[in-house]
Amino acid sequence: MPLDKDTLRVTLLGTGIPDPGINAFGTSTMIEAGDEKVLIDCGRGTVIRMAQVGFPIGFTDTVILSHYHSDHYSGIFDMVMTGTIRQPWSNRGGPLHVYGPKGIEDIAEGAWQVTKPDRDIRVADGESDPEDMRIIPHVYEEGVVYDRGGLVIRAIEVDHGEFIRPAFAFRVEYKGHVFVHSHDTKYNENLIANAQDADVFIHEVAAARPETLANYPKVKIAIDHHSTPTDVGKVFAQTKPKIAMLTHLVLLRPDPMKVSEVTAQIAEEYDGLVMVAEDLMTIDIGKNISIIPFHHGQLGNLEQARR
């Protein structure tokens, strides 16, 4: 689908959690606005989801990481290596700029070591430039992370637990349109303050039955790092987005809650529209807000990419 110059497009490449589920890959979100293309998070399977949508792996040279749990950045090594191959489906043609909290330098250094065997072979075969397989690290703090071509991405510090500091949500602004993604967080007043006036607000959620919490103490560790349905309802009630959406659904076993039960608990606090995100969904925020499942919209992109 062609992108109108005044539209903010968000493609949810991955909406999952660390569990290796086939239907929900690791968190990753492509942002398009005008000529700008930025990937936020790069979880497991990101390059596969990009291919499904019709994005070449070199579609963007900029990645912003929210925090350092594996399901938010494990796909970065595939992105940096496979993106260097000089083929239309890849073809980045330069290093990968990766923005992250303190610690991103370690990922850049480690990636250079991890990619060496592949890099040496492909350089010898004339497939890649070695510098194309380099991660250029950029450390960011709360505030504006990206500001180009009218696209502004602001980092919002959130609370994902004592040992995961800092962790960030993001507010994306373009031509008066606003998209907010909570990423991983407990109930957080700073996020609420910075998520006002959103066209679309996507928030994570975690839920467990009382008997699960009582009988499986380790489940509480996960719950204590995330937002419960009641928490999410309170957040939406205080921010009043035009469209509220759930992602990163942590529904804890052995008897996971149904999504309908989660939304029923949210409804106790928030009476607005609540949608559930899925991989490959496109959100266009322009003259109106369009939510387009993959099989109704993105196949056109795929066919265009193959021409």
**Is residue 91 a part of any domain in this protein?**
yes
Q: Euclidean distance between the first and final Cα of the chain, in Å?
A: 14
- Domain assignment present for residue 287? The answer is yes
Give ∠ CA 84-63-69 in degrees, rounded to 5. Answer: 110
Q: Quote the number of domains for the chain.
A: 1
pLDDT band for 14, please (50, 70, 90 cuts).
very high
285 part of a folded domain: yes
* CATH label of the domain that carries residue 202: 3.60.15.10
> Has residue 2 been placed in a domain?
no
Give pLDDT tens digits for 78-125: 999 999 999 999 999 999 999 999 999 999 999 999 999 999 999 999
Domain assignment present for residue 232? The answer is: yes
Q: Quick check: is 81 in a domain?
A: yes
Q: Is residue 1 part of a domain?
A: no
Characterize 208-240 residue by residue with b for buried, 16 or more Cβ atoms within 10 angstroms of its Cβ, and e for exposed.
bbeebeeeeeebeeebebbbbbbbbbbbbeebe
Q: What is the pLDDT of residues 250-280, one digit of tens each?
A: 999 999 999 999 999 999 999 999 999 999 9
- Can you tell me the distance from the alpha carbon of 98 to that of 278, in angstroms, rounded to the nearest whole number? 25
Q: pLDDT digits over 27-62, tens only?
A: 999 999 999 999 999 999 999 999 999 999 999 999
Domain that holds residue 72: 8-306
Nearest to 32 by CA among 16, 55, 65, 14: 55
Torsion of CA 41, 84, 145, 10, to 10 degrees: -50
User: Which residue's structure tokens are 């496109």?
Assistant: 282
Residue 307 is predicted with a pLDDT of 35
